[in-house]
Chain A
Amino acid sequence: MNEREIELEVLRYDPEVDEKPRFQRYKVPCKSDWVVLDALNHVKAEQDPTLSYRWSCHMAVCGSCGMMVNGEPKLACKAFLRNYTGVIRVEPLAHFPIERDLVTVIDDFMDKLKRVRPYLIPKEEKSLAAGEYRQTPAELKKYKQYTQCINCMLCYAACPEYGLIPKFIGPAAITLAHRYNQDSRDGGREQRQEEIATSEGVWECSFAGACSEVCPEHVDPASALQQVKIESTIDWYRDHLMPWLKK
């Protein structure tokens, strides 16, 4: 297997020592099929144990290793070195505060996930004796795509609106709400609408579509948000023009 020496330029930030972040370069001998994460692991193991970053599965299912590679939000485990030439710049995921080195503060996203109630809220209580919820293949397909989100937050890094307006609930959280709204077993849409049909919910989105472009799991959050906009708009006109109609 071919060896190749690549140079990484990595953003470093030590909150106990630094006033602001700085860049540090590392020369790394790499195998030709390596990803950026392999190079980082090599640096940490052989050159600089102080380098901090999140990672886990190394196969694009856990969503831990999101970072900016040459200015583009990517999973470090899915950024193949063979696709890059010259010095590779590695920075923490954009639009999040930096905790340390490549580790971001993700509390904001965690809060927003909770707010959208990302769990089934049954229409009515059903005892175990009444049996399981049944769903046709068509009903499953209706929301299946939106279940693929791995909460990697690349979409938040790409979204220009989130960058400008941090209180925006954001692509992944709203898409997850939509996933449950579309689930035939769920009856919690009204509750979720209270969170996402707000000015800091879906109405902050301007359909730039950057989120869907960077999503590693092809969830297409932009499509979910537009569908939420259309449904919310129909709701609004119906509620305001025909208030006598009960849902």
Chain B
Amino acid sequence: MSRKPYHREVPKAGWVFDHPRYMRYMAREFTCLFIGGYTLLLVVGIGRLAAGRADYEAFLEALGSPLGIAFHVLALGFAIYHSVTWFNLTPKALPVQIGEDFMPDKVIAGAHYAVWAVLSLGILFLSGAF
């Protein structure tokens, strides 16, 4: 009997559309475009801050353009998706064994969410957002 194993091709990028779980994975990975893009925007802003009042205030005004607002809304959505997926996966990477049992995932993730909420509200308050 002769063997002739058949090798099935994996589509180079098309595999992402094979199953919802791969789409969710790619959505999570794509958050890096918005987080990276936004951080580069911050870098530009810092540059304008260093350049002086006029440049900085022009920068703030440009943020208010329809494109600027649209980018912010998209970036916010993707950034939150990154945070949620990151916090939910943290207990998997950093299990905590107390005595015999492991801390439930919900507790570890929950603690992260709590810190996230407190930190965010704190920063908003200290910046005078409300």
Contact = CB atoms under 8 A, between A and B. Distances in A.
A contacts B: CB pair < 8 Å: yes
B116 interface: no
Interface in B59-100: 89, 92-95, 97, 99-100
Interface residues of A, number: 34
Given A99-B5, A141-B100, A230 B19 contact: no
Given A142-B97, A230-B93, A160 B22 contact: yes
B130 interface: no
A21 B6 contact: yes
Interface in A129-157: 137-138, 141-142
Contacts of A69: none
B22 A98 contact: no
B106 to A, nearest CB: 15
A209 B25 contact: yes
Nearest to B101: A141
A180 interface: no
Nearest to B25: A208
22 contacts: A15-B5, A16-B1, A71-B18, A71-B19, A72-B19, A97-B6, A97-B8, A99-B3, A99-B5, A105-B5, A137-B100, A141-B97, A163-B10, A163-B15, A208-B22, A209-B21, A210-B22, A213-B21, A223-B95, A226-B92, A227-B93, A227-B95
Nearest to A162: B10
Contact of B89 (A16, A138, A142, A209): A209
A174 interface: no
B107 to A, nearest CB: 16
Nearest to B4: A15
A46 B56 CA distance: 80
Contact of B92 (A105, A142, A222): A222
Nearest to B91: A223
Contact of A15 (B2, B7, B19, B92): B2
A75 B25 CA distance: 24
Interface of A: 13, 15-16, 20-21, 71-72, 94-95, 97-99, 105, 137-138, 141-142, 158, 160, 163-164, 206-210, 213, 220, 222-223, 226-227, 229-230
A138 B19 contact: no
Nearest to B89: A207
B92 A220 contact: yes
Contacts of A226: 89, 92-93
A138 B97 contact: yes
